[in-house]
Amino acid sequence: MKRKAICLLSGGLDSTTLLFYLREMDYELLALSVGYGQRHVRELAAGLLIAREAQVPILQLNLGILGPLLKGSSQTSFDVPVPEGHYSADNMAITVVPNRNMILLSLATAWAISERANLVAYAAHIGDHDQYPDCRQVFIDALREAIKLCDNNPPELIAPFSKIPKAKIVSLAETLKVPLHLTYSCYSGGEKHCGRCGTCVERAEAFYLAGVTDPTEYEDAEYWKKVIPDYELKK
């Protein structure tokens, strides 16, 4: 019998690549996508198209009602502007959504128990560590322990990308023929990627470092080069 996995799918580059990576590993897959009142709700539409392309059943929950619990982030409070600059810059701290990953992973875990799935997977990567406490290895390890104890037949939490940088995810995506043109990363949430927010800069930089052509259309396609460190541009 195939092992079964629930994959958190935001519609971004990392979780999409994870979905195709797990599919390649021959897991039976289910995708979980959650609206939590995010400014970049555009990613939810991307998630649907990606799941269709991957032929993976997707459960999309719109929990916009969670808004009052998640105040203070630029991604959930529309009166807090989305910062521009490099993904790892100090001003990106405002983009952290309080305890988002524990909420999403606890929902995925519940679904995994209901579906008797073996794994719950999410796509935290090493570049997330600077800003997002709930992407760090210590958090992943601690939550994995809690998940082991939450039920008599719990799934295992995995984060296969937690020790690699985003550029490696882009390389892997190319190998796996992931439809990266369908993915959406922009924090500003417009129809096109803005090119100036932390995730747009991180995205453009990752394609550059991986030596893969970036299919993304950015409003400002030059900005990222001004904010990534010099030594990277010289690579």
From CA 14, how far away is CA 143, in angstroms rounded? 20
From CA 123, how far away is CA 65, in angstroms rounded? 25
141 vs 217, beta carbon nearer a second copy: 141
Report in angstroms how near the CB of residue 78 gets to a second copy at its nearest.
15
Report in angstroms how near the CB of residue 38 gets to a second copy at its nearest.
13
Report in angstroms how near the CB of residue 16 gets to a second copy at its nearest.
22
Contact 195, 189 (CB under 8 A): no
Site mask for a second copy (CB under 8 A), range 173-202, x = bound: ------------------------------
Residue 152 contacts a second copy per CB under 8 A: yes
143 vs 167, beta carbon nearer a second copy: 143
Q: Is 116 left (phi over 0), alpha (psi -120 to 50) or beta?
A: left
Residue 221 contacts a second copy per CB under 8 A: no
Kindly state the tokens that stand for 71: 């105040």
Contact 56, 85 (CB under 8 A): no
Bridge partner list, 4: 28
Residue 51 contacts a second copy per CB under 8 A: no
Q: Rule CB under 8 A: choose which of 66, 126, 164, 221 binds a second copy.
A: 66
Residue 71 contacts a second copy per CB under 8 A: yes
Give alpha helix (H) positions in the chain.
13-24, 42-54, 100-114, 137-148, 166-175, 198-210, 223-227, 230-233
Site mask for a second copy (CB under 8 A), range 94-133, x = bound: --x-xxxxxx-xxx-xxx-xx------------------x
How many residues touch a second copy under the rule CB under 8 A: the total is 43
Range in contact with a second copy (rule: CB under 8 A) among 41-49, 68-76, 174-182, 215-223: 68-76
Bridge partner list, 106: none
Residue 48 contacts a second copy per CB under 8 A: no
From CA 133, how far away is CA 99, in angstroms rounded? 9
Write out the DSSP string of 97-166. Answer: PTTHHHHHHHHHHHHHHHTT-SEEE----GGGTTT-GGGSHHHHHHHHHHHHTSSSSPPEEE-TTTTS-H
Positions in the binding site for a second copy (CB under 8 A)? 59, 61-63, 65-66, 68-72, 93, 96, 98-103, 105-107, 109-111, 113-114, 133-134, 136, 138-139, 142-143, 145-152, 154
